[in-house]
Amino acid sequence: MPDNIVEKIWQQHLIKQQNGFPDILGIDFALLHEVTSAQAFDMLDDKNLGVYDSSKFLATIDHSIPTRTNRHEIHDPTAKAQIELLRKNCAKHNIPICDLDSTRQGIVHVVGPEMGVTQPGMTLVCGDSHTATHGAFGALAFGIGTSTLAHVFATGAILMNQPKVMQVAFTGELPNGTYAKDMIMHLIAEIGIGGATQHVIEYTGAAVRALSMEQRMTLCNMSIECGAIAGLIAPDQTTFDYIKDRPYAPQGPLFAQAVEYWQSLCSEPDCSYDSTIELNIAELKPMISWGTNPQQAIQSHQKTPDEHNAAMDYVKLNTNQKLIGTPIQWAFIGSCTNGRIEDLRIVADILRDRKIATAVTMYVVPGSEQVMLQAKAEGLDQIFETAGAEFRLPGCSMCLGMNDDKVPAGARCISTTNRNFIGRQGTGSITHLASPATVAYSALAGFICTEFIQHEAS
Amino acid sequence: MYKKIAKHNIQGLCAPMMIDDIDTDIIIPAQHLTQTSQSGFGQHAFARLKKANTDFVLNQKRYQAAKILIAGDNFGCGSSREHAVWAIQELGFEAIIAPSFADIFSNNAKKNGLVLIELSTDTCQQMAQFAEAENLYLSIDLATANVTSKHFNHAFNINPFFQYCITHGSNEVDYLLQHMGQIKAHKTAAVNHSLFIQNGASQ
C-alpha cells in the first residue's frame, strides 16, 4: 500500500520498533518556552544528564510576560522567577533564546516558522498543545508534556506509538469574508472536541492549497481542539517560498537540495487513511463559538442549540438564540492562532478611518517582535490606535489568563484565540472565538457581528 | 522528579466526577502555572468547579481520602500542561477510570505513574452511581489488568510497556538511554534534517 505523508515521515524517523514496546522516534527539533521547561531541566539535573545537542533547540519567552510598554517590570514574583530560570537554564545548556527586545522574541509558534526552524518532513515538538501549527509546513509537529521534553533534551528521541491518520478533505472554494479560522472551527463543530483523538490529521483539497502559509498555520494550529495529536499539510511552492532566506533555512545550494527532498513529502495516490472526512465549505459563513469549548460553535446565521446545555448558564445565553447582536465589552486580536501580520492587516483594513464602540476595550497583540516591527512599518499601529484599540507588545497575552492581560469576571470578549474554556481568559470571563475579521467588525459595532454596522456613537 | 517506586495494585475509595470533556484549564488554571517545581498545584486543582458549587465532589468530606477518580468522556482535553497530572496526584489520586482520555494527558499520566483505565460509559456511570449512593472501594490489579470490588469485575487494556514500567518502578527515559547508540547512529544515517537546519542564532 502506498504511504501517506505521516507514514513517510514516521518511517524516516523510526529508530526502533519492537513488539510490546512503543516505537523510538527521532526528534529533529524542539522549541521551548518558560512555562513547561523548568521541570524538564530539573529532570536532567536529577539524572546528571546534559542536552544531547543544543543546536536542535530554540527557546522564547511568551506566556508569562506582560505586553505593556514597560514589560521588563514583571510584578508577579513567581512569573519573574520562572522567566529568569529559563534564561539561566538556556545559558547553562547553551540553548539559544529569543529574549525580550532581541527583535526575535514572540509566541513560540509564531517564532519557529519566522526563523525558518520549521521545515517540511521534520519531527518537531514543544511543551505546548498548539505545536500542530508547524504542521502547516508538512512537518510532524505535536505538543508534549514536560517529562517528554526531558527525554528529548537527553536523547533527541521519544517513545510513541504510530498514530492513526485522518484525512480532512475540504471541498469547494472558501467564500469571501471567511478564513482558515472559520474552516477549522467548522471542522471542530462537526466532529467534536474528541473527534480526532489518537489521529494525526492531513488537511487536503484545493481550498487548503489556496491558503497562504499564515492561513495554513491558523488551520493546523487548532487541530488539538478536536483532539488530534497533530495536523499537517503537504508542502508545496507556497511553503518553499516562505522558508527561503529565513535564518535557519538551508542556504545556497543546500536550499535546492532541500526543496527536492521536500517535494517527495506528499501522500501517494491510492494511499490509505484510517478515516476520511469531507467538508464542503462553499457556503460557509463566519464561525463564532457560543459555549465553553471550541466544539460549541455555530455559523453566523445559525442559532444556539434547542436543548439547554450547562455551558449556557456560564455564558449567559439561552437556547435557540442568535449570537449576532450580543453586546461585548472586550475584543482581542492575537495569539498563536491569529497573531501574524496577515491577521493584523485584515483587522487594519476593517478599522481604517473608523472608531471602535466606546463600551469596548480592544487589544491588538502582535505574535512576535517581527510582526510588531512589520505592522509599524506599514503604519498599522496608527490605524489601531486611531480606532481606539491598544497596540501592545508581543506575547500570549489574553489567550490564557496567565499574565497581566485578563478579561474581567462577567465581561464578554470576542477573541481570535483558540479556547473558550471556563475562565480561560480570566476567572469568570466569557469568550467567543472567531476570525480576526469578525472580532474587528464586532469591536466597531459593540456587539457580535460579521459585517460593518455603523454604531450609534459615530 | 523521576519516580522509582514499583506498584502492583491500587486499592481505595472512588470519587465520582461524571462530567464529560474536563479540560486541563479546569484541572489547573493557567494562572497557577508560573511555579517551577512539581508540587504546589494540588491546592489549586479544580478550583473553579470547587468555587462554583459547594456540593462539588471534591468539596465533600466523604471523598477526601479517595484514591480513584471516576470521570466522564475525553478527560484531560486541552493543553499539554503536565501540571494537570501533578495536581491530580497531589490530591491523592492514583488512578482515573473514564470512557476515554485526551492523548497528551494520557502520555503525561504514564510518565508519572498515574494509572488511566478506559471502561465503557455504562460501567463508568454505574461505578459513579455506586460511589455516590454508598462508598465504593475498588481494587486495581496492574499485573492482571483487572478492576474489582464486591459488585464489579472488569478487565481493562493496559499498555504492556507502561505495565512493565509501573510494576518494576522503571522509567521510560532509562529505556531510551539504553538505546543511545542506535539513536545517534540513526541521526547521522537517516534523511539528515540537520543538514537543512542552519544555525540561525547568530543572524
**Hey, where are the domains in chain B?**
9-172
Q: Does A154 touch chain B (CB under 8 A)?
A: yes
- pLDDT (average), residues B149-173: 95
Residue A146 lies in a domain: yes
Q: Are A60 and A127 contained in the same domain? A: yes
Q: Pick from A276, A301, A317: which residue ends a domain?
A: A276
Q: Are A249 and A355 contained in the same domain? A: no
Chain B residues within 8 A of A116 when measuring between CB atoms: 198, 200
Q: What is the distance between the alpha carbons of residues A50 and A180, in angstroms, rounded to a whole number?
A: 41
pLDDT value at A457 more than 90: no
Beta pairing class for A29-32 and A287-289: unpaired
Q: Residues 136..195 of B with a Cβ closer than 8 Å to A: which?
A: 159-161, 172-173, 175-177, 179-180, 182-183, 186-187, 190-191, 193-195
pLDDT of residue B196: 77
Q: Are A225 and A374 contained in the same domain? A: no
What is the assigned CATH class of domain B9-172?
alpha beta
Q: Does A238 touch chain B (CB under 8 A)?
A: no
pLDDT of residue B189: 75
Q: Are A174 and A312 contained in the same domain? A: no
Least confident of A14-18, B3-7, B195-199: B195-199
Q: How confident is the model at residue A455 (pLDDT cuts 50, 70, 90)?
A: low
pLDDT of residue B203: 40
Residue type, B112: N
What percent of chain A shows pLDDT beyond 90? 99
Residue A316 lies in a domain: yes
A451 CA to chain B: closest CA distance, Å?
31
pLDDT of residue A162: 97
Interface test with A, best of B37, B77, B121 (most A CBs within 10 A): B77
Read off the pLDDT of residues A386-398 as tens digits, 9 standing for 90 and up: 999 999 999 999 9
Please report the beta strands in chain B, taking only residues with DSSP state E, as ranges in sequence order: 9-17, 68-71, 95-98, 115-118, 137-141, 146-148, 153-155
Q: Are A338 and A413 contained in the same domain? A: yes
Query: Are B160 and A20 a contacting pair at CB < 8 A?
Result: yes
pLDDT of residue B201: 42
Q: What is the DSSP letter of A8?
A: H
What percent of chain B shows pLDDT beyond 70? 92
Q: How confident is the model at residue B108 (pLDDT cuts 50, 70, 90)?
A: very high
A348 CA to chain B: closest CA distance, Å?
30
pLDDT of residue B202: 40
Residue A453 lies in a domain: no
Q: Are A76 and A187 contained in the same domain? A: yes
Query: Are A157 and B36 a contacting pair at CB < 8 A?
Result: no
Q: What is the DSSP string of A137-193?
A: GT-EEEE--HHHHHHHHHHSEEEEPPPEEEEEEEESPPPTT--HHHHHHHHHHHH-T
Q: Does A156 touch chain B (CB under 8 A)?
A: yes
Q: Pick from A276, A308, A342: which residue ends a domain?
A: A276
Chain A residues within 8 A of B107 when measuring between CB atoms: 144-145, 148, 160
pLDDT of residue B195: 66
Chain B residue with CA closest to A36: the answer is B81
Read off the pLDDT of residues A59-115 as tens digits, 9 standing for 90 and up: 999 999 999 999 999 999 999 999 999 999 999 999 999 999 999 999 999 999 999
Beta pairing class for B68-71 and A157-160: unpaired
Which 3 state secondary structure label does DSSP give A277?
strand
Q: Residues 13..52 of B with a Cβ closer than 8 Å to A: which?
A: 21, 23, 25-26, 29-31, 33-38, 48
- pLDDT (average), residues B128-150: 97
Contact B38, B1 (CB under 8 A): yes
More confidently predicted of B1 and B38: B38
Per the structure, the complete domain to which residue A312 belongs is given by: 287-445
Interface test with B, best of A35, A118, A255 (most B CBs within 10 A): A35
Q: Are A96 and A75 contained in the same domain? A: yes
Query: Are A194 and B21 a contacting pair at CB < 8 A?
Result: yes
Residue A173 lies in a domain: yes
A225 CA to chain B: closest CA distance, Å?
7
Residue A348 lies in a domain: yes
Q: How many domains does chain A have?
A: 2
Q: Are A178 and A80 contained in the same domain? A: yes
Residue A190 lies in a domain: yes
Residue A281 lies in a domain: no
Q: Are A20 and A142 contained in the same domain? A: yes
- pLDDT (average), residues B91-108: 98
A372 CA to chain B: closest CA distance, Å?
19
Q: Pick from A211, A245, A276: which residue ends a domain?
A: A276
Read off the pLDDT of residues A132-170 as tens digits, 9 standing for 90 and up: 999 999 999 999 999 999 999 999 999 999 999 999 999
CATH of the domain at A301: 3.30.499.10
Query: Are B173 and A151 a contacting pair at CB < 8 A?
Result: yes
